[in-house]
Amino acid sequence: MIEIMLSTLVELVTTPRLVGLIGLGTAIGIFLGAVPGLGGKLGIALLIPFVFGMDMIPGAVLLLSMHAVTGTSGQISAILFGVPGTGDDAATVIDGYPMAKNGEAGRALGASLVASGVGGVIGAIIFAILIPVLEPLVLSFSPAEFFLLALLGITFIAFLSGSSIYKGISVGLFGMMLAFVGMDPQTGTARYSGEFLFLWDGMSLITVILAVFAVPEMIALGVKGGSISRVSMSTTKYSYRELLEGSLDVYRHRWLVLRTSIIGAVIGIIPGLGGSAAAWLCYGHAVQSSKTPERFGRGAVEGVIAPETASNAKEGGSLLPTLFFGIPGSSGMAIMLGAFLILGIQPGPTLISNNLQLVWMLIWALVVSNIVAVIGLLAIARWVALLSFVRGGLLIPFVLILCVLGAFLAEGRWENLVLLAVLSVIGYGLLRFDWPRAPFAIGIVLGGIAEKSLHKALALWGLEFFLRPLSLVLLALIALTVAWAIYKGRRKSGGAVGAA
Amino acid sequence: MPLNGRIGFTLVMLSAFAIMVALALDYPPAARFLPLVIGIPGIALTICQLLVDIRELRRPSRARDKLRVHRPDESAVSARVDQLAGDRDQTGSVLAREIVLFAYFFGLVAGVVLFGFWLTLPVFMIVFFGVHERETWRFALSLAMAGTAVLYIVFDRMLSIVLHEGFITVAVREFFTQ
């Protein structure tokens, strides 16, 4: 096993063709991730005609290295302009964009890039470690556990509500209500969508996220005037030292990085939960485990590190069920599965015994492409970060155009543009009147998952699904989270009274 | 009591919950279960928020009344009244800027839907830079051309992505090709 592991690494880094394909895949992935609405799924679809006829290993290495790094570059626009490249990056906006406003764009980029790389590498390591115990782990998760996992994520809303618990929870519930738009999975009733067929599949997540996060920030920037950074360029130490500072933040919060990488990889393994859920659950975990949760939403570096490690670590995790069970862990992996079949890779448990070399080659491709992407992006990040000092008036039209393009490209529907315009008014209202937007995103990401899983769990086991062993563990976690939120809230109000 | 923006937005949220709950009542039991479980607490919480907003709105007016009752210094009262008037002016100018920026954004969306991406994007950029940012027309034109060229090369040439062509553009083209 160790011999194959090392020999595949040597082969990967010494074969010029494979090195070139990793470089090409990484460059394409970085580009696709940086443009809102494109992302890895489109990348695989675009690359399939090129890998057709290629050998198994080079083709798979190209596709995987491209797909693995799309999340790494999406954070650049999320941090600099508040425009998330994908739903996964929306969690990064919450603290990344305030950091850019505070003149810390370089630090935020350094932290998020290194966190992404480390998350990707840890995800690949978890992939390797879990191979022997994968089957019981995947099979132990059923709709009952999906529902309780989603519920656990939703309870994090209590921590993300900031000073106003009413606003936080109600905006989280509003996000969940929007997740119910579309065809009801149980009865087939079209809810809140009337005659609008495009809403029958539900609202496009990327459109909603752009409307609630990106467009309002640009309108606010236009109203305020000046540049994104409130701090002038002359007072900011704009050098590689700032990037290094951000990179060191990842080391300073190493236990958070480890925890969120494991959570991200495990969520990646579970088919159906998706990358956005991983990012938001880990963001919530970072807030919940922080001694100073009030810093979140105002530029806390942990709020950038946690979602980025999770969203890259999940790539390793989601590859596991795709390769060994033929069950894609995410929609991106579903397209990847089709591409693997075209390349002649037959997913299944026998892959370990029959083609261990391929398995290790893919693990190393994940590791190497993440490292290459981080090094490449860190090299240019200093210059990219300077965009936060450009006069807002010159950036606003380009960013608004990117938002409109992103909303259209998400599903190729013009109706999403109308949805973008309507929801951006609500998004601006949330920003203008200090309603926290993070709970909204958690609500819309996890609301749909919670509902579908609840119906399935009730149909399979009735209310007894709460008594399954893993369900009891998750219920205990939910109870602990709620109790912890109440305890923290009381301690805070007690402290305030004491101070007064 | 003046209906300020904060209360107005809370009312918007309350109305959204109320409308969604009212609509859910017509759905079959399984389809309305979660919308009601989520929507009804949403209504309760936004009502609580509304009460908090109203209480906060009354706070400054109470402070002003107190100031007038005690009459410690006439100039302090007039300074406070001037400050309140100044705040109103500032709010007015912020609102005007918000309306203008939203008008640009809605114009962009409407333009893309009606005339398509490739006609709307350069026009939007020229108008925004030229009129809103008061840049020179030459600068606005060159920035718009460069921006559109980059987008065209990336999306149309490199990625071969077909973007929305716009209903009016398609209709006009069909009219002339028939």
Lowest mean pLDDT among A35-39, A141-145, A279-283, A336-340: A35-39
Write the ipTM: 0.84
Using a CB–CB cutoff of 8 Å, tell me whether A163 touches chain B: no
Q: Is the pLDDT of residue B7 over 70?
A: yes
pLDDT on residue B110: 96
Q: Is the pLDDT of residue A477 over 50?
A: yes
* Alpha carbon distance A246, A252 (integer Å): 10
pTM to 2 decimals? 0.74
Q: Is the pLDDT of residue A498 over 50?
A: no
- Record: contact B163-A405, CB cut-off 8 A: yes
Calculated CA dihedral for residues B21, B23, B24, B25, nearest 10 degrees:
90
Who among A166, A169, A401 is closest to B121 (CB)? A401
Cβ contacts of B129 on chain A, cutoff 8 Å: 393-394, 397
Q: Where are the domains of chain A?
A: 2-459
Q: Is the pLDDT of residue B83 over 60?
A: no
- Record: contact A187-B5, CB cut-off 8 A: no
Who among B6, B101, B109 is closest to A421 (CB)? B109
Residue A166 to chain B, least CA–CA distance (Å): 6
* Alpha carbon distance A45, A56 (integer Å): 17
Q: pLDDT tens across B25-82, in order?
A: 999 988 888 899 889 999 999 999 999 888 887 776 555 555 554 444 555 545 555 5
* Alpha carbon distance A286, A305 (integer Å): 9
Q: Residue A194 carries which DSSP code?
A: T
pLDDT on residue A499: 35
pLDDT on residue A488: 67
- Taking alpha carbons only, the member of A379, A265, A370 closest to residue A318 is A265
* Alpha carbon distance A205, B36 (integer Å): 22
- Sequence-ordered list of residues with C-beta below 8 angstroms from that of A54, at least 6 positions apart, any chain: A62, A343
Q: pLDDT tens across A373-408, in order?
A: 888 888 877 777 677 677 888 888 988 998 898 888
Q: How far is CA A382 from CA A63, A76, A81, A226, B128, in A?
A: 28, 11, 15, 21, 29
Lowest mean pLDDT among A245-259, A453-467, A474-488: A474-488
Residues 19-48 of A with CB under 8 A from B: 35, 38, 42, 46
* Alpha carbon distance B59, B173 (integer Å): 61
Bridge-based pairing of strands A182-183 and A190-191 is: antiparallel
Using a CB–CB cutoff of 8 Å, tell me whether A200 touches chain B: no
Residue A206 to chain B, least CA–CA distance (Å): 16
Q: B165: helix, coil or strand?
A: coil
Label residue B4 by pLDDT band (50, 70, 90).
confident
- Record: contact A405-B30, CB cut-off 8 A: no
Q: How far is CA A289 from CA A254, A285, A376, A469, A499, in A?
A: 13, 6, 32, 25, 24
Q: Is the pLDDT of residue A368 over 80?
A: yes
pLDDT on residue A493: 59
- Record: contact B49-A455, CB cut-off 8 A: no
The residues pairing with A183 across neighbouring beta strands, listed in sequence order, are A190
Q: pLDDT tens across B161-170, in order?
A: 888 999 999 9
